[in-house]
Copies of this chain bind each other. A is one copy, B any other.
Amino acid sequence: MFVPDSDLEQRLVAAGVELLAEAGTDALSLREIARRAGVSHGAPRRYFPTRQALLAAIALQGYRKLTGLVAETIGGPDADPRTAVLALSRRYVEFAHDEPEMFALMFRHDLLRGNQIGLRETSTPLFGVLVDLLKRADRPEPAVTAAALWAALHGIAQLSQWGTLQVVTGAADPDPILIATVDAHLERSC
């Protein structure tokens, strides 16, 4: 092995992301990731003290991607807040649908629980965007509404990805529910 081939850390995470997308959460074993990265099963330990730490690093990639995807949708500072919120919501649900395994990994409680991932780092960005949009829409108590909206959004993403919404409503498309949710929080002007 002559190639320095540095940054095994990054390669491990990349291999993990790939394996996750291909084979799902359960297949994300330390040894298989190491195998994919072309190193022995002990190697990851230099960079990640435990398997959970590696999984957390993989999930962090997902958070970064989701944050980026969402940021793309909200438009400039003079865009219509309601339109922006709806676009953001659609992207969120879309992400959960397109990368269900990553979405599942990101919101496994055990990763959050062990403080392997900082709750603040991962969740505050999206929340901040929502608060901004609600302030621009002149909503009262933007923090409370943002939290409610985000929770709703997350619930829709989750239930939609599971197929629960489809079973229960008979419709495959979660968009009506998304619209109802955004309207419920943003259109009420009485």
A contact set with B: CB distance below 8 Å:
24-26, 100, 104, 107, 109-110, 112, 119-120, 123-124, 127, 141, 143-145, 147-148, 150-156, 158-165, 167-169, 176-177, 180-181, 184-185, 187-190
Q: Which 9 A/B pairs are nearest by Cβ-Cβ distance?
A: A155-B155, A151-B155, A152-B152, A190-B190, A184-B184, A154-B155, A151-B156, A148-B180, A127-B168
Residues of the B chain whose Cβ atoms lie less than 8 Å from the Cβ of A185: 180, 184
CB-based nearest B residue for A113: B162
Residues A167 and B120 in contact, CB atoms below 8 Å apart: yes
> Which one of B109, B181, B190 lies within 8 Å of A148 (CB-CB)?
B181
Partner of A147, one of B26, B168, B190: B168
Number of copies of chain A assembled together: 2
User: What is the CB-to-nearest-CB distance from A130 to chain B, in angstroms, rounded to a whole number?
Assistant: 10
Closest to A161 in B: B109
Chain B contacts for A168, CB-based, 8 A: 123-124, 127, 147, 150
Q: Which residues of B contact A161 (CB under 8 A)?
A: 109
Give, as a whole number of angstroms, the nearest-CB distance from A147 to chain B.
Answer: 5
Q: Which of A100, A123, A162, A164 has the largest count of B CB atoms less than 10 A from its CB?
A: A164
The answer to whether A143 and B158 touch (CB under 8 A), given A148-B177, A152-B181, A189-B190, is no
Instruction: Report chain B residues within 8 Å CB of A151.
Output: 152, 155-156, 158-160, 165, 177, 181
Q: Which residues of B contact A187 (CB under 8 A)?
A: 188
